[in-house]
Amino acid sequence: MDRPQGRLNGRVAVVTGGTKGIGQGIVLRFIKEGASVVYCSRTAENDAENRVLLAAIQGAAARAHFIAADVGDRQQMRELVETAAHRFGRLDIVVNNAQGIAPLRGIEEKPDSDYAMTLATGFYHSLWTTQAAVPHMRRAGGGRIINFSSHWNIWGQPYSSDYNIVKAANEALTRSAAREFGADNITVNCIIPAGASYAYGVWKRMNPSPAAETERTVPMRRMGDCERDIAGAVLGLVSQNGRFITGQVFCVDGGTWAAAPVQQHEAGTDIHEGRQQRATAVA
Amino acid sequence: MGQIAGQVAIVTGAASEVAQGIARRFAREGAIVVLIDKDASEATRVANAIALSGGRAEAMCVDLARDGAAAEIAQAVAHAHGGIDILVNAAHAALAWMPLADKKEADFAAAFHDVVMPTVAAMRAARPHMLRRGGGRIVNVGSIYGATANEGITDAITMDGALASLTRSAGIEWARDNILVNYLQPAVPDIAVFKSYIAERGAIVDHLIRNTPMRRLADPLEDIGGAAMFLVSDEACFIVGHKVFADGGQHLVAAAFEPGAAR
């Protein structure tokens, strides 16, 4: 990772789910590159680590603003966006990183409530922030929106049909928004990460051997570092370099998309909270 | 100071305005740029222009389709500048619009010989020098035409598919060495050649712009050069074998090139 180059000086960004893993990496990278960032997580306690990390970055205190919010709530997502626009006077960038995750269950067993929760915290939150942000971006003369998808959608990963469906919806939203807002100089792209996310970290601690096998299947032979690798690609797409790139889905995954599937799970496990881990080795 | 300050970049096919936009962008971000083309005059003109504006660039007149030419260039560049960090393969064959039934099989062989093989040769020639630097970046430049297909240019679309597959497979083979190979597909740029086309067939160009979500043609320096910068900078350090359109969303719009299908 190169030294910060002021690539986002004067820009204002919203990042959902900014206190752990990939979202945290994006918040830190944006702040270091000069942006002002409003980010959220479910509780104020979740922000404890960021407070320490941000205190070590010169000038960050005035440019970083945390809000406790439920990304599955329409009103709270609108308020998140409006807070950023009012507090910092403009809005240029929205990164829809957050995603609630339900326990892994087969399609026959998965309750409707899982689909509803996953859709609200993944797809709808991305839609709501987009709807709230676009008028501000138009006033700023353009903007950048980044959504998130997953390899699991491509691969039809078993036992996470709700999650896979939400990620497919995010990719479709990305393309539609790119076409609807292109004339406003707003680009919309989607990231499929293979990063050392919070959920991946939990899974790796519980399953060191499958995790090592997973990382051997990545052409770059490692999982992505959240701040250097995943946030790096997000930074490129939201900076000047990405000004004519829109409507695309980027696998920021060390080449995994072109090689082999990773992270084989079994039904009954809960990768988000780390309970009942019974994952098997990759075939 | 720049995003790729002090890095050594080779740009092939440098007579084209797309390649020149990329070369000028790299120079602006601090790279030492070597422009290569079999037509020396254009590459030299651009190298001089870059030097006049304070950048570092030089031109080399070489036909990369000649056996052994790529290795000679890589050796010469590495010797002169201490190594190679970036390779952009932007050489293209001229398009001859003609139905497949009328094209000669020799057209396909020529396209493979003039575009695909020089790319393979340049990648292989640059690799050992990149390994010595601990990694490198390779950008193979395709075309928006390869996003779907267009009638009349089966040979060019076939080469686009070959380059994309080459990029993907070299990408996963070389990723472990931190040599990242990716594929850039620029839209039709706003350039002199195209402007003369605009003068003759304005309705088609209007249609193209109307069907580009961002409502404009590509600027070679800012739009296409920017996307290339993304791929060779620290930003794309975990992206491998990937296609990137620098097209303002044009690849999404099936009707962009076909006036008859317009709404």
Q: How many Cα atoms sit within 13 Å of B92 on the Cβ side?
A: 23
Identify whether A2 is part of a domain.
no
Q: Which of residues 137-196 of B touch A (CB under 8 A)?
A: 168-169, 171-173, 175-176, 178, 187
In whole numbers, what is the pLDDT of chain A averaged over residues?
92
State the pLDDT at residue B40: 86
Rounded CA separation A277/B1 (Å): 49
The complex's ipTM works out to 0.94
- Number of Cβ atoms within 10 Å of the Cβ of A165: 16
Residue A228 falls inside a structural domain: yes
Domain assignment present for A26:
yes
A178: pLDDT strictly greater than 60: yes
Whether B236 sits inside 8 A of A236 (CB atoms) is: yes
CATH number of A31's domain: 3.40.50.720
> Using one digit for the tens of pLDDT, what is the confidence trace for B219-232?
999 999 999 999 99
Q: Alpha carbon of B48 to those of A22, A212, B143, B177: distances in Å?
A: 44, 51, 27, 34
Residue A202 lies in a domain: no
CA–CA separation, A111 and B227 (whole Å):
43
Nearest CA in chain B to A230: B238
Under 8 Å between Cβ of A136 and A188: no
What is the pLDDT at residue B189?
83
Which domains are present in chain B?
A: 8-187+221-247 (3.40.50.720)
Across the range A154-172, mean pLDDT stands at: 96
- Mean pLDDT lowest among A156-170, A172-186, A201-215: A201-215
**Pairs across A and B, CB distance < 8 A:** 132
Q: Please identify every residue of A annotated as catalytic.
A: 163
How high is the pLDDT of residue B262?
A: 33
In a domain? residue A92: yes
Structural domain of A69 = 12-196+221-256
- pLDDT value at residue B72: 97
Instruction: Report the pLDDT value the prediction gives residue B194, as an integer from 0 to 100.
Output: 66
B235 → closest Cβ in A185, A236, A243: A236
Comparison of pLDDT for B50 and B40, the residue scoring more: B50
Residue A262 reports pLDDT greater than 80: no
CB spacing of A258 vs B171 below 8 angstroms: yes
Q: Is A5 a residue whose pLDDT tops 80? A: yes
Domain count, chain A: 1
Question: Percent of chain A beyond pLDDT 70?
Answer: 92
Return d(Cα B2, Cα B15) in angstroms, integer. 25
- Residue A247 within any structural domain of the chain: yes
Average pLDDT value for residue range A60-73: 97
pLDDT in tens, A195-212: 888 888 888 999 999 899
In a domain? residue A58: yes
CB contacts, 8 Å: B187 with chain A: 244
* pLDDT per residue as tens digits for the range B55-112: 999 999 999 999 999 999 999 999 999 999 999 999 887 777 889 999 999 989 998 9
Q: What integer is the mean pLDDT of A122-138?
A: 98
Residue A65 in 3-state DSSP?
strand
Cβ partners under 8 Å of residue B263, min gap 6 = B255
Model confidence at A280: pLDDT above 50: no
**Rounded to 10 degrees, what is the CA torsion of A79, A84, A89, A91?**
-100
Does residue A79 lie within any of the structural domains? yes
CA distance B25 to chain A (A): 10
Give the pair of three-digit tokens for residue A154: 């491509």
Residue A154 has pLDDT above 90, yes or no: yes
- Cβ contact B93:B44 at 8 Å: no
User: What is the structure's pLDDT at A249?
Assistant: 98
Asked if A248 lies within 8 A of B238 by C-beta distance, the reply is no
